[in-house]
Amino acid sequence: MESGEGGGGARGPALRCASFNQDSTSLAVGTKEGYRLFSVTAVDKLECIHESAENADVYIVERLFSSSLVVVVSHSMPRRMNVYHFKKGTEICNYSYSNSILAVRLNRQRLVVCLEESIYIHNIKDMKLLKTLLNTPPNPSGLCALSINHSNCYLAYPGSATIGEIILYDANSLNTVTVIPAHDSQLAAITFNASGSKLASASERGTVIRVFSIPEGQRLFEFRRGMKRYVNISSLSFSPDAQFLCASSNTETVHIFKLEQHGHGREEDNPSWSAYVGKMFSAASSYLPAQVSGMMSQDRAFATVRLNTHGHKHTCTLTTIQKLPRLLVASSEGQLFIYNIDPQDGGECTLVHTHRLLGSEEQAEASEETVAPSYAATAAIGTSGPDSAKLTDKSVSWRIPSWQNRPSVRAFKPERDDPRDLECTGCSGTGRRSLRTRNTSRGQAEKRNRVDLNIRTAGVKSRKAVFRHTLQSFRIGSRVLGVVPRVR
């Protein structure tokens, strides 16, 4: 997660960056004051093992496994990389480059520095510069991945500025291995599994995630995150055993995919209606266009997480804490969410703990500066009057509870990929009967358990929305951001 660009000056998120170390036992965050390192080996306790204010406005901080070596880059000197021994409080070395540093990746053999159009490969033991890859395709986001396995020490980076080609480079032998045609559009995220035998990638469209074998570059899996719209995938991460892959984006949803081959033997041994239908689809796909048959063969998410934040970059990782599989999600708002995963049935993951990554003052500042307006905040803008709005249609009235008193209401973002729309449980109100909709343009009225309202959106023209009210849910059937009930 990188939250800033250039040399600073603009007000940005209190968390400038967040990165998990190679085995996901530690979390490093960059802040306006410096950087912090946390131990994430327990669920209910988040220990800050180091805090430094030597470099202000840190936007890159990477720790080498659980060692004392940490790499820092700040907005005040974006072309200089500082390498520290944080336990001794000493600087090991520093290197300056011709342009701003966009990313740093490291394992026990190599340290890789990525600029927009060049990549530098160092020997991490003595920091000797081994190779400079010049004139690489423009890479303004600094997208690259380095395998943490020192035997399969592969480096992956974009091979084109227009399509999703991945160049696979051997950082040990310093030779190009292959070029993988991964996507039709530009790359947005890439990552290796722990052994360096698999590579996952996502394009800027964010709809399809693919997994390739390394070093062959053959496609192994293809997962569909969504079909209707594009999102910005900010991070990908394999589980330690490479059986699962998680993906986070600028939406509230984190997807977890299961890497399993669907063989035919099990279906033949246990014939059923679902197996029969599966065979029919497989047979029919051979007669369909490649794009359509590909969509039929793509797997959906095995498990999901619904965050309470939206519009921010999130960094996610899959790990094992206290002998149980966990999903960790670090938010640029300054929070770390820990979820339980059901490795057998999947489904909705369970939130077990939320930790603050900032102090109370920083957290308050982050809330003021960076958190996107919540549903309640959006509804409160430009409105006045009583705490509740009364909707009247002839003999039927419905009182909407005060938005300010409904912290669980969430804005429905256009980027959301869930057709179930927005729900708020525990809705209290008086409209628990069948309601008559407002008259349509034809003067017709229908008797349903809903009421049609005019809404106002941030930066979007007014349009119609459907407000559904039941005993336990308040549903908005409209894909808009920050809807505000308004009666004309």
Q: What is the pLDDT of residues 164-220, one digit of tens each?
A: 999 999 999 999 999 999 999 999 999 999 999 999 999 998 889 999 999 999 999
Neighbours of 433 (CB within 10 A): 9
User: Do residues 138 and 126 make contact, with C-beta atoms less than 8 angstroms apart?
Assistant: no
Give 56: exposed, middle or buried? Use CB within 10 Å, 0-12, 13-18, 19+. Answer: middle
CA distance linking residue 487 with residue 390, whole number of Å: 8
d(CA 267, CA 289): 26
**Helix (H, G, I), strand (E, B), or coil: what is residue 368?**
helix
User: Model-level pTM greater than 0.75?
Assistant: no
Q: Distance between CA atoms of 117 and 120, rounded to whole angstroms?
A: 11
Are 133 and 115 a contacting pair, CB within 8 Å?
no
Q: Per residue, what are the HEC states of 384-397?
A: CCCCCEEEEECCEE
Which residues make Cβ contacts (< 8 Å) with residue 21, sequence separation at least 6?
27, 28, 62, 63, 64, 65, 66
pLDDT in tens, 34-92: 999 999 999 999 999 999 999 999 999 999 999 999 999 999 999 999 999 999 999 99
Query: Residue 323 has what DSSP assignment?
Result: T
Handedness of CA 152, 66, 43, 189 (dihedral sign): negative
| Beta-strand pair 303-306/347-348 | parallel
In which residue are the tokens 């959906």 written?
Answer: 300
* Residue pointed to by tokens 């500042």: 365
Question: Which residues lie closer than 8 Å to 142 by C-beta, 6 or more apart?
Answer: 2, 101, 102, 103, 114, 115, 116
pLDDT band at 244 (very low <50, low <70, confident <90, very high): very high
Q: What is the pLDDT of residue 298?
A: 57
Residue 365 has a pLDDT of 52
pLDDT higher than threshold 60 for residue 94: yes
Question: Amino acid identity of 175?
Answer: N
SS3 content of the chain, % helix, strand, coil (to 5): 10, 45, 45
Q: Residue 177 has what pLDDT?
A: 98
Q: Give Cβ neighbours of residue 380 (< 8 Å, ≥ 6 apart).
A: 403, 404
Q: Does residue 294 register a pLDDT over 90? A: no
Residues in CB range of 395: below 8 A, 6 or more apart: none
User: Backbone dihedral region of 65: left (phi > 0), alpha (psi from -120 to 50 degrees) or beta?
Assistant: left
Q: Which range is least confidently modeled, 20-34, 92-106, 114-128, 465-479? A: 465-479
pLDDT at residue 227, rounded to an integer: 56
pLDDT in tens, 278-288: 455 445 444 54
pLDDT digits (tens, 9 = 90+) for 364-423: 454 444 434 433 333 333 333 333 333 333 222 333 333 333 333 334 343 443 333 333
Least confident of 297-306, 411-420, 422-431: 422-431
Element (H, E) at 121: strand 118-123
Amino acid code (one letter) for 416: R
**DSSP states of 27-68:** EEEEESS-EEEEE-S-SS--EEEEEE-SSSSEEEEEE-TTSS
